[in-house]
Structure formats: structure tokens, C-alpha cells
Chains A and B, each alone.
Chain A
Amino acid sequence: MKLHTLYIYIMLLAGISCSGCIREDEYDNSPHGNLYALWNIINEQYCFLDYKEQTLDFKWNDMYAKYASRLSSSMDSYQLFEVMCDMLSELRDGHVNLYNPHDVGRYWSWYEDYPTNFNEELQRKYLSNDYRIASGIKYKILDDNIGYIYCGDFSTAIGNGNLDEIMHYLRTCNGLIVDVRNNSGGQLTNAEILSRRFTNKRILVGYTAHKTGPGRNNFSTPEPEYLEPSTGIRWQKKVVLLTNRRCYSATNTFVRNMKECPNVTVLGDQTGGGSGLPFCSELPNGWLIRFSACPMYTARMEHIEFGIAPDVNVSLSLEDALRGEDTLIEEARLLLNISE
């Protein structure tokens, strides 16, 4: 074999090696480059752009030019961060966050602009010191034989065995209060595990979709979401679900599911919303951006990004609070006792 054939072989390999590299577009690590990268991530991956443009009356296409006018090459990272957060706040989405080493950009008006309707001191009067805890869920039988469950977080794994114990303990109660006030979310699977205790049959609770490409209208066909009944102990009596504006994300989905269950009445304030499953990405300067990527809808294909209205709207009253009473819990007890 002649040596030149070996050279050809090596040259061919080198040629193949250099062709067809798959790489991403690169942005400048400058104020303009970072702002454009941020704008483009939202433009291509954020799942509520059309909905937000319609309901909030803005055009995302105009946003880059609007906020780029506030940039200068000499600005520091604090000023750039402020401009970026202002642009992101147009979306009014609690799932949109910008993380940098000195701060977290956030939109928390979904609960900060509204009354809390929850007071831990008042709740303590009902729970006292002899309540039980399982999987992070506090539970107790109130004086009028109404069961009370407080789930303040869906981040902690909820075990089916724990739920069986809870349901078994509360089985003699005339009704059940499920309190998810101030629960700002966690794992969707935990929310689903708990809501499965309140239906005896498979029910349609909503739809979910995802983006299939960077285009504005690149969405998958919404897939139905069904709630399967738990194989463990299921609650068969009346339920009142207490909500406030801090019910967000996975808790918002929990409330959506519960509204489809029989015997459930939602009482309190509207939930905070947050119906987009979040994803993360990065900017050229290393800052992390979180945003809503997969939209979730109700069983009637309605958006729940801005929250779910309760069946009975009740606010915490100052007079009740001064008496040491939680208005929402008292209203729920009244409702359950009347039903009984």
C-alpha cells in the first residue's frame, strides 16, 4: 500500500471531523447581548406569551427595544439586573425568576398585593399542642367532630401509608377541612397523591401541553389529565378546602384537581396561580433564568395561570381574629355541620 492512500484516509477523517458540528448560537456577554439572550429565551420557550399579551396588553416583540434603551455599556451588573427584572415583570409570573450572585429577581405580587387570609397564631389555637404530623401534614379532630388537615408544603414526599393512617384516624369525623393556605407548591406528584383520596372514580381534572418548537404557536395537542382514585382509604364525606392567595404552583394544581372531586367545596380567597411547569436556562453572564414552560389547564381548557376562584369567598375578619377565631375555619365548620 502506498503511503499517499494513508494520507488520504487521514485527510478524509479530518474532513469528516470538521464538518457538521452541532452548536448553539452565541451571544455577547455584554448588557445588550445578555438582554437579547434573555428576551429570546422567553420568546422561544415561555409558554404563556400569547395569553399574557392578550390579558395584560403588551407585545413581547416590543420589549427588547423598550428595555434595551435603558442599557449602556458602562452600566454595572446591579443596574443590568434591574433592567432585566423590569422586563420580566411584564409577564407577571411568579415562576419567572432571575438568579444572580447578589439577588433573585421575582414577581411576588400574586400574593403580596392581597390580604393574607391566614394567621399562624390563630391556626395554633385550633391545633393546640396535641395535633399529629405525618408526611409533613398536621391533622387533628376539632371539638365539633370535624377533621382538620393542614398541608403547608408539597415539597415533602407524601406517603400512601401516611395518608391511610390520617384517613383512618379521621374516619369518624362528620366532615373534613383540608387547609392548604400558604402552601406555595412543590412536587406535582405529591399534590396528586393527596387529591386521589377524594374521588372514587377516574375523573378528568384538566389538560397539559408543552412546546414542540421555538415558534409562538408550536404547542403539542393538550393531553387530558385524569385523577385516578387511590387504592387506599378514600374520604367519602363532605370536604371544605381552604385557600388563599399564597396557594401557588403545585397547590394551584391541587385545588384544580379537588374542584373536580365530588363533595368538595373550595372556601377562602382565590389561589395565586402559577400553572406553568417551570424550566431553567442560562444567560451569557452566567445568570440563571427560570420560566414557565408547560401550560396546564382546567377540564374545560381554561387558563389557571392567574389563580382559581373559590366556591365560597371568605376573608379573615379582624373581629374574629380579635376573638381568637379563624374566619375561614369557622365558616368551613359551619358549612360542614349544616351539610351534616
Chain B
Amino acid sequence: MKKILHAVVFTLTTFVLPISAKAQEVTDTVAANRYTVHSTMFGLGSTNQLESYLSPFEYTGAQISFLRESLRMTRMAQGRISYQGLFDGYVGCATGPEDDGNELGGSIGYHAGWHYHWTPSAQWRLMAGLQFGGDIGFLYNMRNGNNPAQARARIESAASVAAIYKFHLGRHSLTFRAQTDFPFMGAIFSPNYGQSYYEIFSKGNYDHNICFTHMGNAPSFRGLFTLDFPIGGYIFRVGYNYDIRQSKVNHLKSHVYNHSFLIGYVKHFSFHKHKEKNPNRFIL
């Protein structure tokens, strides 16, 4: 856990903050016009699931996912703070190490983030901020008769940093983004070590079923890399998303490691309330 904390502090102090001194002035017309970038992506990739409540073994398989992103500048801090909404979900099917059992898992979640922007050059935009959100999901072991499923629900607050790089390839303008979010505090639902769902839901016997999480007992993070490129007047996006969700509460170990290759499209919207003197639509 210390390593992770040091990493966060080191990133913010050595990488992000010094650049802020060189930040350029940003007009607030982008915020005033509610210039918004929407993207919808669909993914395909691998999943690795461990839920010691159901089985002590890791199940591996394939998953499909979606990621809907909304990004716009706000009027806060003279238009230097953006709002990002991430709506995502996945469904995966995994097989046990001996091919004797299958698990079906899925989740859906929403995270809202606010990032402060630095623009050290016309090509670079760096972002750091906080994210709040949660997700609900399930894991169903098709083989277990008596404790076949585990419900998942969590809320979390996360530190989020991103770097955006805009460049040209020939006549085409491309945008690369790298973002990582690491939750540092939250709460998670979990049955107790040997507690049955019959006891929780039929009898109403609760026992530490809402657990406080932090980077020590739930070291989780998400990395998102995307590349936007135009084709025939439309903007498409390809990306890679790794979503690492882990927890160790009530002596129960759980993880979901999802790796997805994503493809989708991007749409830019604005209301044009104010005329932009120097149009700068470079958010993403």
C-alpha cells in the first residue's frame, strides 16, 4: 500500500504540478458553449475472476464490454476543470482451471470525475482530479448447488490522472489519451466469510456486510488508452482498457481482471451560445 501511495504522490508532485506553472491561459468559451465529447465503445477481451466465496480458483475466459464516455469543460476554475462521465459494463464467461465448471459474471457502473487541466503546449493536455462512482454486478457459478452466486456492489472515490496528446499524421489530426484511475476509498457489499444469502435476505441477519475499502484491502485501478482518428468526416476511436477490481474483506478474496480492446465512435457537440474568438475544441 505504501508503494501505491508513494506512486500517487510522486506522480502528482513530479509530473503534474511543475507543468502547471507553464500552463497556458484557457478561454472559457468552450465551457460556455457546453462543448461536449461523447464516445461509445464496445470491447472484447479476456477476464480472470476469483471469488473465494464460490471457489478458491481463478476462472478465466472471455468478456464483452461497453464504455460510454461524456467529457465537457465546466465553468469552474476559469474553465480549467472538466467533467467526465463514464458509464461501463461487461458480461463475461469463464472456465475453471480443470474445465469442470463455468462462471458467468457481469457488472454495470457509473463514475463521475472532475479533472483540472494543464495545457503545457498546444499538443499536450494533462489532467488530474477526483472521480466518484460505483458499480453493481454478480458472479454466478453454474456448478455450485448451494452457494451458486455472489452479488457485487461498491461505491468508491478515486484519484484520476490523464494525459492527452494531439498530433498529425499527414493531413489527419489524431488524439491519443492515456488515463488511469485508482480508487483510494469506498465501501463494498460482501457476505461474511461463511454467511449464506438465505441468512442475509430471508432472515435479515446482517454481519459486516458493508465493508470500508481502501487501497490496502481493495487495490483496484483502471487504465484507459484511446486513439481518436477521422475517417470520411467521422471520428472513430480505438482503445485498450484494463480494469482491475480486487478486494479482501471478511476473509473473502475477490478479483476481476478484465482486459478489453475497444472500438467505437466519437461525437462532438456544442450549443454555440457565444462566438469563439479562437475556436479551441481540444478537450479530447
Interface residues of A (CB under 8 A from B): 1, 5-6, 8-10, 12-13, 15-17, 19-25, 29, 37, 41, 45, 47, 188-189, 208, 210-214, 218, 220, 223, 225, 277-282, 284-288, 290, 293-294
Contact = CB atoms under 8 A, between A and B. Distances in A.
A20 B246 contact: yes
A21 B255 contact: yes
A158 to B, nearest CB: 14
Interface of B: 1, 3-4, 7, 10-11, 14-15, 19, 50, 52, 54-58, 96-101, 120-121, 124, 126, 141, 143-148, 161, 163, 178, 180, 182, 192-196, 198-199, 202-203, 205, 207-208, 215, 219, 221, 223, 242, 244, 246-248, 250-251, 253-255
B58 A189 contact: no
Contact of B194 (A6, A15, A212, A284): A212
Contacts of A277: 146, 196, 198-199
Given A22-B253, A277-B146, A223 B223 contact: no
Given A212-B250, A223-B199, 10 more contacts: A16-B7, A24-B50, A24-B56, A188-B202, A211-B195, A279-B194, A281-B56, A287-B100, A288-B101, A290-B145
B97 A1 contact: no
Contacts of A10: 178
A15 B5 CA distance: 12
A282 B4 contact: no
A288 B143 contact: yes
Interface SS of chain A: mixed
Nearest to A187: B198
Given A188-B202, A210-B199, A8 B193 contact: no
Contacts of A214: 193, 251
Given A21-B255, A286-B96, A208 B11 contact: no
21 contacts: A8-B14, A9-B15, A9-B178, A16-B3, A19-B3, A21-B255, A22-B50, A22-B247, A24-B56, A189-B198, A211-B195, A213-B193, A213-B251, A278-B145, A280-B55, A280-B144, A282-B96, A282-B100, A284-B97, A294-B194, A294-B199
B50 A210 contact: no
Contact of B124 (A1, A21, A37, A218): A1
Contact of B120 (A1, A8, A23): A1
B207 A212 contact: yes
Contacts of A290: 145-146
A276 B1 CA distance: 38
Nearest to B246: A22
